[in-house]
């Protein structure tokens, strides 16, 4: 259906099509025009978006979607619909031991299920090593031909730095990005929380910041050796931000992201043993949190992601150290990002870019920008809509969030995926 959305404030345009215009046309699943409706366009539907922001759908670099394999935690149906209603039109699937992506059949199964649903696009990261066991390399060439946008071992450890070197060299031969979760296991020593005063008072085994920064440094040394394109996932420490900043100054092929919750929570939030704040990497110090925001501001950190990890209720109903890490975070990615604008940390255009064009560039996806010919994955956002996150109203199957009760400004009211109008806020 040919559609014209007019009277909107456009945010997230390309340099070739700046956002002074207030109208955008959709035809055949793509953005057909920005600005004045061309003669003969013959739209079948007009949307008056007065007082709304029209922006590209968000591209989330980290969603643990669980299906197939962990359907008791979440399904593609529940999570992709929750994503769309939250302004996310592209999700990056993360492989994990119970939901791996080691061959084209597993890749195709995910896409077949999702194709029938049609709520959001799913881009897939394949296994870096066979069965994510960290020993033998996966068939990266086959995974790329199947359609994987990168490879990773997630939080599963690699047997040695030699395996990591070989994996990075092999990835380079296939021109595929390696997604690294930086953690030096020996230093982490099975810890759960950030090493600091709070961990000492609570008596928890702790993870020093150095466990992450050492892993970043090791990987940077291997990048200099192999030239591999690497994306660093979920930075959490000041030291990591500093190292990535230096690496970019040296023009190494690196990018990085941060989970939205790391920008608002710190180790202080576990002081009451709240298992909803049990995350990996752990919530760090206030100094680390400020360094992460500074990294976003100067583009050391390219993107903000949800790191969405839905869990069943029982996974969080236990003493802190017995619970599973992770936050159900699709529904807070965009609201928390917009809060950075309210705080004056980022401009609106910068904040939107961190969840749209920047992550899209990392996975080399054509989405994430309002430009002629781009996929019509767009959302309307009412910036003045004041709302409170309630567990009962969450659409994700996972209700494990520490942000319940938080109030936000800005709500997605309508969404289009490939030109199809498939969400309207009730």
CA distances, 156 to each of 73, 94, 96 (Å): 20, 12, 8
Residues 6 or more apart in contact with residue 267 via CB below 8 angstroms:
193, 194, 196, 198, 199, 282, 283, 284, 285
Q: Is 147 left (phi over 0), alpha (psi -120 to 50) or beta?
A: left
Of the residues 60, 307, 365, 377, only one is catalytic, namely: 307
Residues 6 or more apart in contact with residue 11 via CB below 8 angstroms:
19, 53, 54, 55, 348, 349, 352
403 and 332 in contact (C-beta within 8 Å)? yes
From the CA atom positions of the chain, what is the Rg in Å? 21
DSSP labels for 295-358?
HHHTTSS-EEE--B----GGGGSS-GGGSPP-B--HHHHHHHHHHHHHTTSS-HHHHHHHTTHH
Q: What share of the chain is helix, strand, coil (3-state, %, to 5)?
A: 35, 25, 40
Question: 271: how many CB neighbours lie within 10 A of its CB?
Answer: 13
β-strands 193-194, 23-27: how paired? unpaired
Q: Exposed, middle or buried: residue 117 (CB in 10 Å: 0-12, 13-18, 19+)?
A: middle
365 and 372 in contact (C-beta within 8 Å)? no
Q: Exposed, middle or buried: residue 118 (CB in 10 Å: 0-12, 13-18, 19+)?
A: middle
Question: Does residue 384 have an active-site annotation?
Answer: no
88 and 423 in contact (C-beta within 8 Å)? no
Contacts 24+ apart (CB under 8 A), 206-211: 207/183, 207/281, 207/282, 209/236, 209/237, 209/238, 209/239, 209/284, 209/288, 210/184, 210/239, 211/183, 211/184, 211/185, 211/187
- Looking at the annotation, which residues are catalytic? 307
């Amino acid at each position: 259906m040919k559609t014209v959305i007019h009277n909107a404030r456009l945010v997230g345009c390309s340099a070739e099509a700046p956002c002074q215009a207030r109208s955008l046309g959709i035809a055949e699943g793509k953005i057909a025009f920005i600005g004045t409706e061309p003669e003969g366009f013959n739209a079948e539907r007009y949307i008056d978006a007065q007082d709304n922001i029209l922006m590209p759908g968000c591209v989330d670099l980290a969603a643990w979607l669980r299906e197939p394999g962990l359907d008791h935690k979440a399904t593609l149906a529940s999570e992709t619909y929750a994503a769309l209603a939250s302004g996310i039109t592209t999700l990056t699937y993360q492989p994990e031991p119970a939901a791996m992506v080691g061959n084209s059949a597993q890749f195709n199964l995910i896409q077949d299920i999702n194709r029938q649903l049609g709520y959001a696009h799913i881009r897939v990261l394949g296994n870096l090593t066979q069965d994510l066991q960290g020993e033998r390399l996966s068939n990266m060439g086959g995974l790329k031909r199947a359609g994987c946008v990168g490879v990773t071992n997630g939080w599963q450890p690699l047997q040695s730095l030699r395996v990591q070197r070989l994996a990075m060299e092999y990835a380079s031969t296939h021109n595929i990005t390696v997604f690294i979760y930086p953690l030096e296991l020996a230093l982490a020593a099975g810890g759960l929380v950030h090493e600091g005063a709070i961990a000492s008072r609570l008596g928890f085994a702790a993870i020093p910041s150095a466990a992450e920064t050492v892993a970043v440094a090791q990987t940077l040394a291997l990048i200099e050796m192999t030239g591999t394109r690497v994306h660093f996932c979920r930075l959490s420490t000041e030291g990591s931000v500093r190292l990535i900043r230096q690496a970019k100054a040296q023009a190494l092929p690196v990018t990085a992201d941060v989970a939205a919750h790391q920008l608002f929570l710190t180790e202080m939030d576990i002081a009451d043993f709240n298992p909803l704040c049990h995350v990996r990497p752990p919530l760090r110090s206030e100094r680390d949190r400020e360094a992460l925001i500074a990294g976003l501001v100067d583009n050391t950190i390219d993107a903000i992601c949800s790191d969405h990890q839905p869990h069943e209720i029982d996974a969080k109903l236990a003493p802190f150290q017995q619970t599973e890490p992770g936050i159900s975070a699709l529904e807070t990615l965009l609201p928390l990002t917009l809060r950075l604008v309210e705080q004056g940390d980022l401009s609106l255009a910068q904040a939107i870019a961190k969840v749209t064009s920047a992550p899209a560039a990392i996975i080399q996806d054509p989405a994430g920008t309002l430009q002629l010919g781009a996929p019509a994955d767009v959302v309307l956002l009412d910036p003045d809509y004041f709302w409170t996150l309630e567990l009962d109203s969450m659409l994700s199957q996972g209700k494990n969030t520490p942000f319940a009760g938080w109030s936000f400004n800005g709500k997605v009211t309508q969404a289009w995926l490939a030109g199809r109008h498939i969400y309207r806020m009730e």
